[in-house]
Chain A
Amino acid sequence: MSEKQRTTMVPYPSHAIVPERDVHKKPVLEARHLGVEFGGLKAVDDFNLIIGATEIAGLIGPNGAGKTTIFNLITKVYQPTMGTILVDGRDTAGLNTIQVNRLGIARTFQNIRLFDKLSVEDNVKIGLHNQMRYGAATGVLRLPGYWKQEKKMHEKALDLLSIFDMQDLADHEAGSLPYGAQRRLEIVRALATNPKLLLLDEPAAGMNPAETAELMENIVKIRDTFQIAIMLIEHDMKLVMGICEGIAVLNYGRIIAKGTPSEIQNNPTVVEAYLGKKKEG
């Protein structure tokens, strides 16, 4: 992406920036003083972040900085011990993973978690679970509602799979797909839940440069088509700097820098966190 296409980032209430186009919309995610302790160890401490309604945000940092933990806090896999998370302006205190998903947060996992033995299509249909509903009795008795909704689910699933050109793989067993396709399927499954914010945990891990380039295009395409926000954890700096509009850098569970890609690239603290302190001699 050339410099000209870059989004202008504007200051948002305090210490935060969002894309200019999102300034008048409610931010999709707001984390305030978020923190969690595991046995006295602060894995995340005083984490503050605002993500605009259609922003592509990056979360980077060295290994073990607590990036995935942030995802786990947002999706309530772990309950935060401190701070607040607002999703679309609503406090998520006391909610569980399922309720947070219904509020509009979907995610992928660093270590892929597909339903391996089920077909690709079924994986997506499981993502559609709360989007297209019918009762268990309707299913057992094969009432008209079952046929109608199953047909809609089938069409929607293929539609979503076509984002990554995967509709022909619908019958395959999910666990038998190549690694890159599994990562893409996880994204499709998450998208099926109709999220407002999509959390991608290392989406490009294990992909070759061509696949990564395609993934970058697709992430932007997903944002443009569905008008949702995407936050991603990624070690591939080309991807992060290429598509992320706002970037937060995490180290030892704290944010050490926030800003646009160019600001982050020129931030000495970030460089130090990644490469270590320069020693004389």
Chain B
Amino acid sequence: MKKKNNKTFISNLITYAMVIIAFVVISIMQEQKLLSYSAKQLLVPVCVWIVMAVSLNLTVGISGELSLGHAGFMCVGAFVGAVLTIITKKTIDNEALRLIIAMVVGGVAAGLTGVIVGVPVLRLRGDYLAIVTLAFGEIIRNVLNLVYVGMDQETGALAFGFNNPNLPGKLIVNGPQGVQGITRISTFTMGFVLIIFALIVVLNMTNSRAGRAMMALRDNRIAAESVGISATKYKLMAFVTSAVLAGMAGALYAMNYSTVTGAKFKFDTSILVLVFVVLGGIGNIRGSIIAATVLTILPEMLREFSDYRMLIYAIVLIMVMLATNSPAFKQWLDIAKEKITGLFAKKKEKGDTANE
């Protein structure tokens, strides 16, 4: 028991330490003006994608349900958060506070969407669930493409329109053109804070009664129900928690740009996050962080290969799945392992006899 507890504890500690050290090092580099302009541009997106990957891993890895609509929740958080910062620009002076409020409200909005989506969807299983989350992601984006919000510049009065851009005041949400006139208040520090928050939520949840229930349902639903664990409750809990975190990440993402459109949260974005999760290892939170970081930075460094980026992702996705799930591949791996250890054993034997 102690041993196992320590193992999880140490593993989590490494994860936190990794994030904190990276933050400190990068902050110092930033202070010393060692970062190029393009590197600085990447700091917030890296944080955003890390949170997206960590949160999706809760649904896919811990709860065991494939969600293909994660970008939809990000989209809700981005829109709600962006609109909120524009509205509160005059009332709240402190940018950090405004950002935090935007992230919290964006997260809550995404969480509510998660409840609305999750309650019907989580009754379905496996492939059906995947396709319906995909559908919901598209619906959320389609609907947001039709939303118009006008704000009176003087009074701050708001006017909402659905599929109707003729509103009084200046349009702050302009249908397919998205939210316009956002002040770019996202900071790397806030990104770091959000990562730590996401890690605390996901790791602590996983290593508690709720997380055990989720994993039990993932590994064997019938057995879990036979010991009195409600599938609806815990699947929904994982799904909504993951939606809240995605919404917060979405708000952070939106506030890093001056405009944000629904087109940024297409199905492709959901798949991209899924690629992070799969490459980092399904259920492996630290892996998600590393994969999200590397796969966000790498394409920027290898711009000349940008045509091949998605192609390479696709190939890697297939290869990883084959490598981790194909019995033939596993057998091959075992044989290889045996040969290598056999080699070592022989060497050792030789060494031993030599010593004698």
Contacts and interface: CB of A to CB of B under 8 A. Distances in A.
Interface string A123-164: 001110110011010111110001001100010001000000
B205 A136 contact: yes
B237 A136 contact: yes
B326 interface: no
A134 B204 CA distance: 13
Contacts of A130: 227-228
A71 to B, nearest CB: 10
B120 to A, nearest CB: 18
Nearest to A72: B222
Given A121-B4, A136-B237, A141-B204, A193 B209 contact: no
A183 interface: no
B204 A140 contact: yes
A127 B204 contact: no
Interface residues of B, number: 28
A190 B227 CA distance: 7
Contact of A98 (B4, B201, B220, B225): B225
B274 to A, nearest CB: 21
Nearest to B200: A140
Taking residues whose C-beta sits less than 8 angstroms from the other chain, chain A's interface range is 35 or more
B219 A142 contact: no
B213 A98 contact: no
B19 interface: no
A264 B129 CA distance: 50
B340 to A, nearest CB: 22
Contacts of A118: 212, 215-216, 219
B220 A119 contact: no
Residue from B1, B200, B222 having most chain A Cβ neighbours under 10 A: B1
Given A136-B210, A136-B237, A139-B208, A114 B223 contact: yes
Contacts of A247: none
A77 B220 CA distance: 14
Given A121-B1, A140-B204, A146-B208, A115 B216 contact: yes
A109 B213 CA distance: 19
Interface string A178-218: 00000000000110110000000000000000000000000
B222 A129 contact: no
B115 interface: no
B222 A126 contact: no
A255 to B, nearest CB: 24
Contacts of B225: 96-98, 101
B158 interface: no
Residue from B210, B223, B228 having most chain A Cβ neighbours under 10 A: B228
Contacts of A139: 204-205, 207-211
Contacts of B201: 140
B355 to A, nearest CB: 35
A129 B227 contact: yes
B224 A126 contact: yes
B229 interface: yes
A140 B227 contact: no
B216 A101 contact: no
Contacts of A117: 215, 219
Residue from A116, A119, A130, A136 having most chain B Cβ neighbours under 10 A: A136
A77 B209 contact: no
Nearest to B212: A126
A98 B208 contact: no
Contacts of A77: 222, 226
A193 B228 contact: yes
Contacts of A114: 220, 223
B230 interface: yes
B125 interface: no
Contacts of A122: 212, 215
Nearest to A123: B216
Given A139-B211, A140-B205, A97 B226 contact: yes
Interface of A: 75, 77, 96-98, 101-102, 106-107, 109, 113-119, 121-122, 125-127, 129-130, 133-134, 136, 138-142, 146, 149-150, 154, 158, 170-171, 189-190, 192-193
Given A101-B228, A118-B215, A130-B227, 13 more contacts: A77-B222, A77-B226, A101-B227, A109-B222, A115-B215, A115-B224, A117-B219, A126-B229, A139-B211, A149-B209, A170-B1, A171-B3, A189-B227
Q: Which 4 A-B pairs have the closest CB atoms?
A: A139-B208, A101-B228, A113-B223, A115-B219
Interface of B: 1, 3-4, 200-201, 204-205, 207-213, 215-216, 219-220, 222-230, 237
